[in-house]
């Protein structure tokens, strides 16, 4: 240990308490300034001292902020062109017209020759088309299975996750009873809006934990989902909050182990129960870009207006010289004192009145450079090359080709994940019903033994060709 200097010895004699604090602070600084303490974890540099940080579990960092993220993400999608382009670009390139199943039977395991295998696989495709190509597969009877894929994936991108239920409902003339019911993320929420982090009783059920509508047991395994009877943000729900009720839907059936709920989400942290909207990391940049774009458009429109103001020395009750802006084109026609600009308008002013304009110097010559730089940062955060997101391939062929290849990796990863979370489970449930009804002959098949006849949508193949 380093011996104390003269100043330390003097302080030790006169003020031992302060001397002890100095020694402790010196030891703390020696630890902090080693390794990351000199860089990312440094607390003494001015550049790092202003970094406000706070870390928490997935509940504090994600689940507690889900409501705001979802609403802001949807607002950005509906009002900011860059956000709309990002989500629709992902939807179109990942799902396209819908992912088609491509049965791949294990002929060696099943003891079948190639001819029999090809015949069975063709039968699977034909039978699946009877169910998937019509709106009957949709519980709301509006979309076919491929359109449901597009809706489910876009909803996942916008809200962070999508819930799909697999009820059985008979309909006259329909060969299958399986239905797919999509639930918007907001409807999956904790009863009465309060999470339960300790064991308790909810509506007669003994629960260990409920976070944002996802119930888990003592081991952290997802056991059920709590679904509101209508959208919590709907106008009727806001007026009559007492009318909101929640239904508990088990994730898997107790007897058969059948999947009752498909939770379409992509986790980014261990212990995470709800998904994060794709736009969440770039929402601030998107909003600022939207505001800047609106301001530039407004300034450019004002600069394009050619309006003449005539200052008269004598008041007149007659019609002003020239043509004023028509009343139906006024923005604020309720305010008689309001003066508005218009293309080619001539407005008479009262005596003593005059108009002075500041030179806005629009269009701004730096607009393109600034917006392109911002879009590049947003694209990097979303793993979407700016050329692809903005549909502008103005660089060299090799650069455009490299951007497309890089984006295809992102789409391939998203497609594999979406297939595993949504398409494959739905296909397996349909196949189980087809075998149970005798429409497909599969000796030895049972819902708990599906490996030999497992089928998967071909990765990279969309319903209407490659995207």
Q: What is the pLDDT of residues 307-351, one digit of tens each?
A: 555 566 665 555 554 445 566 666 666 666 566 666 656 666 666
Judge whether 234 and 23 are in contact, CB under 8 Å.
no
* Mean pLDDT, rounded, of the chain: 82
Among 147-151, 289-293, 456-460, top mean pLDDT goes to: 147-151
Confidence of residue 444 (pLDDT cuts 50, 70, 90): low
Q: What is the pLDDT of residues 86-124, one digit of tens each?
A: 999 999 999 999 999 888 888 888 788 888 888 888 999
Percent of the chain topping pLDDT 90: 48
Task: Report the phi/psi class of residue 312: left, alpha or beta, with left for phi > 0 and alpha for psi in -120 to 50.
Answer: beta
DSSP state of 442: -
Average pLDDT over residues 393-406: 88
Provide the 3-class DSSP secondary structure of residue 76: helix
Confidence of residue 467 (pLDDT cuts 50, 70, 90): very low
Question: Nearest 5°: phi and psi at 425?
Answer: -60, -40
Task: Report the phi/psi class of residue 213: left, alpha or beta, with left for phi > 0 and alpha for psi in -120 to 50.
Answer: left
- In the chain, the N- to C-terminal Cα span, in Å, equals 67
Provide the 3-class DSSP secondary structure of residue 457: strand
Placement of tokens 């903005």 in the chain: 390
* Residue 454 pLDDT exceeds 60: no
CB 383: neighbour CB atoms within 10 A?
Answer: 15
The span from the CA of 158 to the CA of 137, in Å, is 24
Average pLDDT over residues 251-274: 91
The span from the CA of 39 to the CA of 36, in Å, is 5
């Amino acid at each position: 240990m380093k011996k104390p200097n003269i100043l330390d010895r003097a302080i030790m004699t006169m003020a031992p308490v302060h001397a002890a604090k100095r020694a402790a602070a010196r030891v703390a600084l020696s630890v902090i300034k080693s390794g990351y303490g000199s860089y990312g974890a440094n607390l003494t540099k001015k550049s790092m001292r202003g970094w406000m940080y706070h870390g928490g579990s997935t509940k504090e960092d994600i689940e507690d902020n889900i409501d705001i993220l979802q609403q802001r993400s949807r607002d950005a999608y509906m009002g900011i062109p860059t956000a709309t382009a990002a989500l629709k670009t992902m939807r179109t390139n990942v799902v396209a017209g819908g992912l088609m199943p491509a049965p791949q039977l294990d002929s060696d395991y099943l003891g079948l020759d190639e001819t029999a295998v090809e015949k069975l696989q063709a039968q699977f495709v034909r039978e699946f088309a009877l169910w998937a190509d019509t709106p009957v597969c949709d519980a709301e009877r509006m979309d076919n299975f491929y359109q449901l894929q597009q809706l489910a994936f876009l909803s996942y991108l916008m809200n962070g996750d999508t819930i799909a239920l697999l009820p059985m409902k008979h309909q006259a003339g329909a060969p299958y009873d399986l239905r797919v019911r999509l639930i918007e993320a907001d409807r999956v929420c904790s009863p009465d809006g309060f999470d339960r982090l300790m064991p308790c009783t909810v509506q007669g059920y003994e629960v260990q934990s409920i976070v944002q509508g996802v119930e888990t047991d003592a081991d952290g395994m997802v056991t059920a989902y709590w679904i509101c009877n209508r959208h919590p943000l709907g106008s009727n729900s806001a007026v009559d909050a007492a009318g909101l009720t929640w239904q508990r839907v088990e994730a898997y059936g107790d007897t058969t182990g059948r999947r009752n709920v498909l939770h379409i989400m992509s986790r980014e942290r261990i212990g995470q129960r709800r998904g994060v909207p794709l736009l969440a990391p770039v929402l601030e940049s998107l909003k600022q870009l939207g505001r800047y774009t609106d301001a530039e458009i407004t300034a450019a429109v004002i600069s394009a207006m050619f309006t003449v103001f005539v200052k008269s020395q004598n008041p007149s009750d007659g019609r002003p010289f020239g043509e004023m802006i028509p009343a139906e084109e006024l923005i604020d026609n309720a305010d008689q004192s309001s003066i508005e600009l218009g293309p080619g308008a001539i407005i008479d002013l009262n005596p003593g009145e005059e108009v002075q304009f500041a030179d806005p110097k629009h269009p701004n010559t730096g607009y393109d450079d600034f917006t392109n730089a911002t879009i590049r940062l947003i694209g990097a955060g979303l793993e979407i090359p700016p050329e692809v997101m903005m549909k502008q391939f103005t660089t060299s062929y090799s650069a455009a080709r490299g951007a497309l290849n890089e984006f295809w990796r992102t789409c391939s990863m998203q497609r594999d994940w979406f297939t595993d979370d949504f398409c494959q489970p739905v296909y397996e449930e349909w196949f189980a019903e087809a075998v149970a009804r005798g429409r497909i002959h599969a000796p030895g098949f049972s819902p708990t033994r599906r490996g030999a006849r497992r089928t998967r949508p071909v990765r990279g193949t969309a319903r209407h060709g490659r995207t």
